[in-house]
């Protein structure tokens, strides 16, 4: 239990240090792509990248669920030596 608590504390501490560093070293991000210019701040850029990766993960999860549906209420075999 202590190892798990320490692990999550260190992860939270790492995110906190990064958040404080970004707030103290405020900057901008300029992206020129296919004739478009995107001008934003670093926190908004990181938030948008996190949102894009989150949504892509959800879409792939839904596609995987559609291709390989599982029934969570299906009773598993009681025999441990059975070959599927």
Residue 6 has pLDDT above 70, yes or no: yes
Give residues with Cβ within 8 angstroms of 26, minimum separation 6.
41, 42
How much is the pTM?
A: 0.58
Does the structure show a pLDDT above 90 at 11? yes
H helix or E strand, kind and range, residue 33? strand 28-33
């Amino acid at each position: 239990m202590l190892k798990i608590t320490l692990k999550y504390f260190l992860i939270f501490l790492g995110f906190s240090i990064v958040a404080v560093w970004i707030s103290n070293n405020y900057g901008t991000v300029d992206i020129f792509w296919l004739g478009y210019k995107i001008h934003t701040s670093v926190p908004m850029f990181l938030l948008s990248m996190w949102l894009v990766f989150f949504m892509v993960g959800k879409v792939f999860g839904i596609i995987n669920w559609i291709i390989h549906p599982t029934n969570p209420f299906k009773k598993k075999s009681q025999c441990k030596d059975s070959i599927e």
